[in-house]
Amino acid sequence: MKYNEISHFSHLQHTLKFEYTEFPFKCDGCKEVGIGSRYRCATCDFDLHMHCALPSSSITHPFYTKCSFQFLSRPPGDMPRFCNACEKDVTGFVYHCKSCGFDLHPCCAKLPMMLDDGDVKLYLYKKVSAACHKCGRKGRSWSYRSTCKKYNLHVACVREMLMESWHDIYVGRGKGRRLETRIPSLKNTLHTHHKKSKGKVQKCCEIAGLAVQFVISAMLGDPTTLIAGVIGSLMSRA
C-alpha cells in the first residue's frame, strides 16, 4: 500500500513524502542505489526505497523455507555481513534470519520470482548450473533465467554494475540529467553472445535482454513498467 506521506523511525525530524524520480538516488535505509518510487525529505535530502520505507516486520522466502527473516535497522553483531541474494555487503536495513544467519537486502528480498514481458518469462533461481550471460561464471548468487534456458543473469552481476558505476550514475546532479551508467553494456553483451546465432534462440535472447530492464529496475527497488522504460532508454543509448 502506498501513502502520500509517512512518519518513519529512521527520520523522526520530518515526515517523508512519496515521489517518483527518474534520477538515481542512494537509499538512506539500506544504503543501496534506488530509482523510481521513493519516500523523501527534501529538507534533509533523505531518501528511502519503498521497501525500506514500508517494511514488513518479518517475512519468509521460498528459497529458505525453514527461515523467518526479521527486519532490522542495522546488521546484527560486529562482523561484516553480506546479502545472500546478491553477495554484496549489508550496511543498513536488512532482513535477517537469526537461526540460520542469512541476510537479505530489502530490495533483494522482494525480487519478483517471475518476470514476464509478454513474450518470454524469466524465473528467479537460487542457483543455476549454466554460466551467467554477463560474467561467464556458474553458481554464485541468485539468477534470473529465461524459459529458453539460453539466458542467465546473476543478481550479483546486476548489483556490481550498479555499484561500480555509482559515480557515473550520480554524474551531473544539478547540472542537467546525464544518466551515465554501465547498464547499456548489457545490450552489447547480448548481441555479442549470440552474434552468430539465428532464429528462435537469438529472438529469445533479444527479448530476454528487454526483460533485463525489469531485473535492473527491481534491483533498484521499483519493478514497474514505467521505470523499466527509463532503464530501457539507457540501454538504447549504448
Q: What are the pLDDT digits (tens) for 200-218?
A: 555 555 555 555 666 666 6
Q: What is the band of 194 on the pLDDT scale with cuts at 50, 70, 90?
A: very low
Amino acid 193: pLDDT: 46
The better pLDDT of the pair 78, 162 is held by 78
3-state helix, strand, coil in the chain (%, to 5): 25, 30, 45
Amino acid 170: pLDDT: 52
Report field, pTM of the whole predicted structure over 0.85:
no
Concatenated DSSP letters of 191-235: HHHTTT--HHHHHHHHHHHHHHHHHHHHHTT---HHHHHHHHHHH
The whole-number average pLDDT for the span 27-33 is 93
pLDDT value at 232 more than 60: no
Alpha carbons 61 and 53: distance in angstroms, whole number: 20
Q: What are the pLDDT digits (tens) for 117-156?
A: 666 677 899 988 888 887 888 877 898 888 877 778 888 8
